[in-house]
Amino acid sequence: MRKINEECGIFGIISPEPLQAAGYAASAMLALQHRGQEGAGIATFYSDDTLICHKNVGLVNDVFRDFLRHVPCTNVAVGHVRYSTTGNNTVENTQPIETVHSRLTCALAHNGNITNAAELRGQMVNRGGKVFHTTNDTEIINMLLIDEMIKCRNLEQATFNVMNILEGAFSLVIATPDKIVAARDKCGFRPLCMGKLGKATVFASESCAFDCIGADFVRDIEPGELISIDRSGKEKILKQKDTSCRGLCVFEMIYIARSDSFIDGLSVYNARLEMGRMLARQKPTKADFVCGVPDSGLDAALGYSLESGIPFAPAFVKNRYMGRSFIEPSQQVRERTVNAKLNPLRAQIEGKSIILVDDSIVRGTTSERMIKPLRDMGVKEVHLRISSPPFKHPCYFGTDIDSAENLIANHMTVDEICQKIGADSLEYLDMDNLTEIGAKKGIKFCTGCFTGKYPIEVSGGDKHKFDDN
């Protein structure tokens, strides 16, 4: 079934004393597994300066099982989980990306999408005869870093110079044998935060990774900010002056991030509850129960229930043993296995009217396939409520939203969509309500995929030229 796919997840750790840096990275990557299930990698440094990077396609537990048995205590590690948009899910494209050069030995993990990647790559190939080993835009960052290190021989300044060259979305963690640099693009599209684990400093895409390794959250990295920490714990900060394009991806709040994370001071769980409450206020509807589509619709459904006073109840039982990489072998089998992942809970819903809350509608086929079995099991009424506005535009900043022509809201009215998916009524969350959730905490969201207005102009244009990270 077509849903929006997640982002990548990144993590870094640096400690004055050797510790199980790779082990912590693996645990953190497991906590960030929801951001990417196609590949994972960890890089660390043995004997002070030997870079070891272990990465492969697959889930965290599979990729690192053997590696962790043999890896010694080290001071620095960086990790990555990856989601790719199309067929290029190869080990070459997994991260961290390593650089071993006379001026720079490092491992880099990137979450986001560089919108001027094609242009930069063309310039580098033509000008300097650079050879690229991946189809991944992250390698461009490594190449630029080497160029800047040759010029200024200072990792912080070199990374800062690269931040000024790159356009688009990037949260970065760069590890060298004695330092970690973390940086976030000037719009702050993707999250990145810093924590403390004893004397060690940690960085992660989401704060849930800190909870899972016993680290304390310290703060978010600000848009346009670079922070470096060396082994002694010494901190250096550089900030880009113009961050007026601020725009945290609102889809992090709607769907991508874990509910137990806080991003830029806002609890993802509370944001989702509020989305549900707003939906309930937007269009009060009578029903026996409020149900959420597992897992992404559950928090908003609870919010709807709390606001409306209509009891919250499960509508589906989820098969916990079907991985996200489940491959549906043929159309015929696909048709027969639509309920393999979510099966309606007949005892709860038969003869009842329900308000069903989901996070988004992409092509409409998922909603249609979800509502039909509910009807088959005797549900009286299904009122579908969506905790986001209608998708109408592509994303250039690293979220795998379908092309505009495949987005159902682009060629059907809300009433037509409602009829097509077989719901009794359909309501999307208003854009003003969505942005208000961020505004209350001083957060400006990117809402480009709903409005077509992006925080920055997209010069590259073709989001599929490189793999998203």
Please give the Cα distance from 49 to 106 (Å, whole number): 10
Q: How far is the CB of 396 from ligand SF4 (least distance, A)?
A: 7
Q: How far is the CB of 395 from ligand SF4 (least distance, A)?
A: 3
Q: Residue 249 or residue 355: which is nearer to ligand SF4 going by CB?
A: 249
Residue environment code for 40-79, b if the CB has 16+ CB neighbours within 10 A, otherwise e:
bbbbbbeeeeebbbbbebbbbeebbeebbeebeebbbbbb
- 3-class SS shares of the chain: helix, strand, coil, % to 5: 35, 30, 40
- Based on the residue annotation, tell me whether 8 is a catalytic residue of this protein: yes
Q: What span, in angstroms and rounded, lies between the C-alpha atoms of 8 and 257?
A: 11
84 vs 447 by CB, closer to ligand SF4: 447
- Closer residue to ligand SF4 (CB): 189 or 203: 189
Distance CA 152, CA 158 (A): 7
Q: Report the nearest approach of ligand SF4 to the CB of residue 131 (Å).
A: 31
Residues at the contact surface with ligand SF4, assessed by CB under 6 A: 189, 249-251, 395, 397, 399, 401, 446-449
Q: Closest distance between ligand SF4 and the C-beta of residue 251, in Å? A: 4
Query: In the complex with ligand SF4, which residue's Cβ is closer, 59 or 395?
Result: 395
**Could you tell me the smallest distance in angstroms from the CB atom of residue 171 to ligand SF4?**
12
Q: How far is the CB of 426 from ligand SF4 (least distance, A)?
A: 21
Task: Report the helix count and the strand count for the chain, using DSSP H and E.
Answer: 15, 23
285 Cα distance to chain centroid: 33
Residue with tokens 């809970």: 345
Q: How far apart are CA 320 and CA 30, in angstroms?
A: 16
Number of C-alpha atoms within 13 angstroms, CB side, residue 234?
A: 6
Cα(22)–Cα(29) distance, integer angstroms: 10
Give the residue from 285, 302, 284 showing the smallest Cα distance to 293: 302
Minimal distance, residue 114 CB to ligand SF4, in Å: 13
200 vs 250, beta carbon nearer ligand SF4: 250
Q: How far apart are CA 174 and CA 337, in angstroms?
A: 43
**Nearest distance from residue 5's CB to ligand SF4, in Å?**
11
Place of tokens 């990374």: 159
Give the SS3 label for residue 158: helix
Which of these is catalytic: 8, 106, 212, 446? Answer: 8
Identity of the residue, 180 or 248, whose beta carbon is nearer to ligand SF4 in the bound complex: 248
Specify the DSSP element, H or E, that contains 150.
helix 138-152
Interior angle at CA 30, CA 28 and CA 34, nearest 5: 115
* Three-state DSSP class for residue 81: strand
Q: What is the DSSP string of 265-306?
A: TEEHHHHHHHHHHHHHHHS----SEEEE-TTTTHHHHHHHHH
Measured from the CB atom, the residue of 177 and 389 that comes closer to ligand SF4 is: 389
- 37 or 447, CB closer to ligand SF4? 447
Catalytic residue numbers read 8
